[in-house]
Amino acid sequence: MNPGNHAIEIDLLIHPEWIIPIEPTGITLSAHSLAVDKGCIVALLPCAEALQRFHARTEIHLPGQVLLPGLVNLHTHAAMTLLRGYADDLPLMTWLGEHIWPAEARHVGPDFVHTGTLLACAEMLRGGITTFNDMYFFPESAATAVQQSGMRAALGLVVLDFPTNYATDADDYLNKGLAMRDTCKASPLLSFCLAPHAPYTVTDATFEKIAMLSAQIDLPVHVHLHETRQEIEDSRKQHGMRPIERLRRLGLLGPQLIAVHAVHLEPAEIDLLRYEGCHIAHCPTSNLKLGSGIAPLKAIHSSGLNFGLGTDGAASNNRLDLFQEMRHAALLAKGVSEDAAALNAHAVLHAATLGGARALGLDAQIGSLRPGKAADLCAVRLDDWLLQPCFDPASHLVYTAGREQVSHTWVAGKLQMQNDKPTSIDMSKLLANTSLWHTHMAS
């Protein structure tokens, strides 16, 4: 490099084969570089110009690789990674009522949540995920794990109307969650959501309180909604209406709402969610594995309703792998609609990045490669012989590559995954703790 006399000193300059910035949509750049300083994107510009304009303390060349924003996992239960494969091949309510909830009652506490969340963070960083939206108990333990990993997370203030190891009633859940938020809100990598579990575990009075809190303290509301037909039928019997209509009457619909799963939607409900500015966390693999159904993604996308992609927890997926979710989302949308153009590769990449960021209210900070945004990035090898030839990098990311091709993951400009391992996590210690939990739960 031969910088000019007035080259600007920066922390990092990355030279990949291609860059997919997400904004503007549908663009793939070649012979471009990304400049990063103090954790933020400074510029995205042609390589020759970058070499003249900047002098970087670290310069990384990535031939044969594509650089894109870090992926956003819009829905997961991170600590449930310790329950991966614990109870498979069962419908949702049997899976929950007869296996998962009893196991959680026996085992879940602060140490379980810390180890499970840290294991989830390691897996997600390995697959290019830089941000996740969590919903689980003992969020203060999850916060410690997230900070240890160097990831970005939106932590759910989980709420149910029945007791667990974590809390006794709805007020106890909210009080503990809000106290955790007050303790952790200064962390630059943490944000928060109100997380009522589902319409079948939360009363009207609690939902009304959550709607009020969301407006008062400006927090998103992250809730399972219309996941199964049984959920809808039970709501009709108990409340005389479908769950979305119930939430509308209780004041929950609006730009703050992240509706998780949203598998069983009528056309009028899609229009209503779009009109109210709501968001959907689409979790195709979990929906398939639990036999919950297939969301009408072509209609959702065509309506303009914003959606992101989620893995759900490793207990019902069983991977925290957004490359798998991208492929499943695209293929299912095409197959169900019998329209090969229902959802193209760039639309899926948007959902896995900026769509998720927008749902969390973080789209001014992350989700695309624009100057001023945080340098949350991932690089993916497309020069693997298994992937040849490559005509379109965007298509390759969705239909051909997998998380095993991710080479680097950065969060706020800091390299958090390289050479197949997280850089801030002691994997030997983590795997030893994971083995202890496995032995304990299997006995």
pLDDT higher than threshold 70 for residue 90: yes
Query: What CA–CA distance (Å, rounded) separates 394 from 236?
Result: 43
Question: Taking 80 as the threshold, does the pLDDT of residue 116 lie above it?
Answer: yes
Domains of the chain and CATH, by start: 8-69+373-412 (2.30.40.10), 71-359 (3.20.20.140)
Tens of pLDDT, residues 338-358 = 999 999 999 999 999 999 999
CA end-to-end span of the chain: 60
What is the token pair recorded at 114?
A: 């810390």
pLDDT at 1: 44
Please report the pLDDT score of residue 443 as a whole number: 82
The answer to which of 90-94, 157-161, 430-434 has the lowest mean pLDDT is 90-94
On the question of a cis peptide bond just before residue 199, with omega within 30 degrees of 0, the verdict is: no
Between CA 136 and CA 115 the distance in angstroms is 13
Task: Judge whether residue 4 has pLDDT over 60.
Answer: no
pLDDT of residue 92: 85
- Count CA within 13 A, CB hemisphere, residue 363: 18
Q: Residues, the chain, total?
A: 443
* pTM of structure: 0.97
pLDDT tens profile 387-416: 999 999 999 999 999 999 999 999 999 999
Cβ–Cβ under 8 Å, residues 116 and 410: no
Residue 433 has pLDDT above 60, yes or no: yes
